[in-house]
Structure 1
Amino acid sequence: MTLSVCLIITPVLYKSHRCFHNCNYYYCLSLNLLTWLRQEAQRKKMILVIVFLALFLDHMLLSVVVPILPNYLYKIGKAPTTTPGNSTDLTVNPPINQSLNNRSVILGSTSAPPHQTPALSSNPTVAQKFPESNCSYTDAHLDEVNIKVGLLLASKSTIQLIINPFMGPLTDRIGYHIPMCAGFCIIIFSTTLFAFSSSFILLLLARSVQGVGGSCLSVAGMGMLADGYKDGKERGRAMGISFTGLALGLIAGAPFGSVMYEFVGKMAPFLVLAAVAVLAGGTVKYSKQLHELLLPFAKIHILYFLCFPGAICLTTLVIATIETALPIWMMKTMCASKWQLGTVFLTDSISYLVASNIFGHLSQKYSRSWLCACIGMILAGISTIAFGFSNNIYHVLVLNAIVGFSVGTVDSSIMPLMGNLVDLRYVPVYGTVYAIADVAVCIGFSLGPAIAGPIVKSIGFHWLMAIIGTANIIFSPLCIFLYSPPCHESEARQPFTIHHCPKLFLLMRCSATSF
């Protein structure tokens, strides 16, 4: 009897134990899965925060110097003017175009419009050197300062243009974390050097060093973001949020720099940014990530990777050209005051912020990135042409808002699509492809100020806007080639390197050496 009971109970107990063991196994498995998902979500959020801070700091340092450098260089380059027989010093401070970007700073008029009488002093012996019927004030020293400021602001993009072709393959080889840490360290050094510089040479060195740090942050940051967000919709949303940091840096940079410089001094804004860079750099965690760069067996059609940088370069060229030529044109035709010269560019950055958040998500959600980029380029071209027909500051504000919205649409649509194309055709390493994108941005910001002045001088502002706008409209149909790019077979997929596009690599090297 006892034996029979044991024979019956033993299998039941075994099955119960096995069932309990299986339940415990699946419970542990589900718990580990939830823990992994939670850690993965936290890792993605941390990556997004790091890239957001990197773009914010780089572009805030980009624009914070705009209201500081011209006045500071004017002060250290020219002593206050004193009139004979009067002990009162009269310092003439030129108006400064507080543009939100780093391209061209125009030193404008110190005179009032023709219907106003400028009053510099109650002393009649003080000479007032103002033309009677002109909105502009000319001074040889101001022209010299303008040249120095232009050289300082252009040096960052030029250095970044030279570094980018090498930074992309480097990040593909060693990963994104080391260049990101190096970029934060270089930005800290650059801001500290800005704070303690008292000569033009040191300021030029600080600005050039910032170009190296900006190359590390932008290339590694966009590559890290594309690597962390594999899904196209999530990637588009994440890049839209990261572009918010870019736009906020441009918006906050110039006002922050001018207020701190006015009430605290030149060193204060740079030391604050250096402290923020130290805190942001501390969030980067090192992880060893090596990729074997194999030689490709097949080369892609260059058309795909010409459409991406071409669209980015032309829309960037619109902003760079407008910021260079528009202030002087407003001074000549509208007698614009100095606060108006800086205010007109606020709508540009604000609308860029709005567009990057909207279309970064929508273009990927509905798989219409190519269409958004095409419409954005057409809109940018039309609004650029319309600048030549504006006759008051309100028209300029509206057109700047349209330009910023269209450029934000193109950037937030193109950047995720570049990562998606690498996912389709190659092993997902993204450093090189985003280095190409950053080179396109640098070419636009270097070429715009270089051609704007000579073209305006020779054929006029209207024709300059017409040429740049028409170029965008003509290029826009090429975005249709990005509608459905073919995918390689899985066994043929190789890491994307710059050698896949030898003609594009040659073009990048020539551009870097020419600037």
Structure 2
Amino acid sequence: GSVAADMAWLHQSRGSPRLVLVVVCVALLLDNMLLTVESSCLQDSVFLEKENVRVGLLFASKALVQLLVNPFVGPLTNRVGYHIPMFAGFIIMFVSTIMFAFSGTYALLFFARSLQGIGSSFSSVAGLGMLASVYTDDEERGVAMGVALGGLAMGVLIGAPFGSVMYDFVGKSAPFLILAFLAMFDGALQLCILQPSKISPGWMVPTSQSPSVRPSAGSLCFANMGVAILEPTLPIWMMQTMCSPKWQLDLDLLVEPEGCLCFCRWLCSMLGMFIVGISLLCVPFATNIYGLIGPNGGLGFAIGMVDSSMMAIMGYLVDIRHASVYGSVYAIADVALCMGFAIGPSTGGALVQAVGFPCLMVFIGVINILYAPLCFLLRNPTVREEKMETEE
């Protein structure tokens, strides 16, 4: 009887917005935990000052691959729906996680990290698109995006300390095997809940032409670039200036990303970018790990403001263009995020060697402060879009 009841419950739950939110949340959590667990384990194995550039490239490889794959995933989800790409993303992530557990050379790590980029592209574009399609009310969708991005933030938050502790006390492959188990759980959830989509929505108006998408994408890119640059460079700078012990190097990023729910979205994004800029300017003034708590906390809170506001704005932009097909717009959003995470680490290492860590922080901080006023363009997208429709 209980089995029949469970089956009935599963049947009712299929495609329910809350369970879709759980699946997407766990997928984003996993992706970002894997990302930061790798970073913390890499610091152990290959971190030296002269390694700045190689480590930066290794960090950036995932985002670079994701950048190349994203433009194909958007149109693919428009053709086959969100469920198949989402599941494909899970399988690729699982393989990548297992590879990390057992790879010892730079080349293998590079390959596993790049493979993760492909999986990540499928999961995030399909996941966010699926969320936008099941939460049709704009306000509810804003909250759901905030929760899903909270999962992403949580992954960034707990990944590094979790990886560091497991690596030191259990062994190199332990954190990855636990994440592989988590991935299995998410895959099983997906199989139970998500029914293959029968819709074939056809092609969407090319969203990148929309005037409001460009400032949104730029905002996502520059705000996240700040955090991306810190990931490989801050631990090395701490080692040099603060003589920090190993366990502190991962705690420096602990107070970072927080999910954030807000309703005046353009204002949230603008304030978020100002706070990102100011926080980055404050980082070089820290003389010990406690001095980093303020700037990193500000950075995490502000990134949450920018990301959750922009993801919700982008879903809304699709709605007002009368074609509710979200794959393409979230592919654009993901490309913007990946630009930040690809340019950040790959150039960060080299720039630190050229101009020094404090100058780099000032440079990226000032870019964020100067870009912030452009969020004003998102104040009333409906009117702007209508103007564009009439011009066409």
Same fold (TM over 0.5): yes
Please report the RMSD computed on the Cα atoms of aligned residues, expressed in angstroms: 2.7
* Aligned length, in residue pairs: 376
The structure 2 residue matched to 1:66, chosen from 18, 24, 39, is: 39
The equivalent residue for 1:193 is 99
Q: Partner amino acid for 1:312? A: L
Distance 1:239 1:330 in 2: 34
Does residue 287 in structure 1 map to residue 260 in structure 2? Answer: no
The structure 2 residue matched to 1:324, chosen from 225, 228, 232, is: 232
Kindly indicate whether the alpha-carbon contact (under 8 Å) linking 2:79 and 2:201 is maintained by their aligned counterparts in 1. yes
Q: Partner amino acid for 1:43? A: S
Distance 1:199 1:336 in 2: 27
Kindly indicate whether the alpha-carbon contact (under 8 Å) linking 1:178 and 1:286 is maintained by their aligned counterparts in 2. no
Distance 1:332 1:409 in 2: 32
The within-5 A match list for 1:24-39 is none
The equivalent residue for 2:69 is 163
Does residue 216 in structure 1 map to residue 157 in structure 2? Answer: no
Does residue 48 in structure 1 map to residue 12 in structure 2? Answer: no
Offset from partner CA, 1:407-435 (integer Å, 9 cap, x none): 11111111111101100113111111111
The structure 2 residue matched to 1:396, chosen from 282, 292, 296, is: 292
1:216/1:455 CA distance change after superposition, 3 Å = same
Kindly indicate whether the alpha-carbon contact (under 8 Å) linking 2:41 and 2:172 is maintained by their aligned counterparts in 1. yes
The structure 2 residue matched to 1:464, chosen from 360, 375, 385, is: 360
Offset from partner CA, 1:191-225 (integer Å, 9 cap, x none): 12222334333322222111110001000000001
Kindly indicate whether the alpha-carbon contact (under 8 Å) linking 1:324 and 1:448 is maintained by their aligned counterparts in 2. no
The equivalent residue for 1:315 is 223
1:40/1:371 CA distance change after superposition, 3 Å = farther
Work out the percentage of aligned pairs sharing the same amino acid. 47
More helix by share: 2
Distance 1:180 1:308 in 2: 24
The equivalent residue for 1:419 is 315
Offset from partner CA, 1:11-57 (integer Å, 9 cap, x none): xxxxxxxxxxxxxxxxxxxxxxxx9xx95897011100110111011
Does residue 238 in structure 1 map to residue 144 in structure 2? Answer: yes
The structure 2 residue matched to 1:107, chosen from 36, 43, 48, is: 48
Normalization by structure 2: what TM-score?
A: 0.87
The equivalent residue for 1:261 is 167
Distance 1:53 1:258 in 2: 21
Q: Partner amino acid for 2:38? A: V
Offset from partner CA, 1:356-403 (integer Å, 9 cap, x none): 2xx42x32xxxx100110111111112212223333432222111111
Distance 1:324 1:291 in 2: 42
Q: Which moved more, 1:239-248 or 1:211-220?
A: 239-248
Pairwise CA distance, 1:274: 1.6
Normalization by structure 1: what TM-score?
A: 0.68
Kindly indicate whether the alpha-carbon contact (under 8 Å) linking 2:281 and 2:362 is maintained by their aligned counterparts in 1. yes
Kindly indicate whether the alpha-carbon contact (under 8 Å) linking 2:13 and 2:19 is maintained by their aligned counterparts in 1. no
Q: Kindly indicate whether structure 1 or structure 2 has the higher relative contact order, using CA contacts under 8 Å at least 6 residues apart.
A: 2
Distance 1:222 1:458 in 2: 38
The structure number with the bigger radius of gyration is: 1
1:200/1:340 CA distance change after superposition, 3 Å = closer
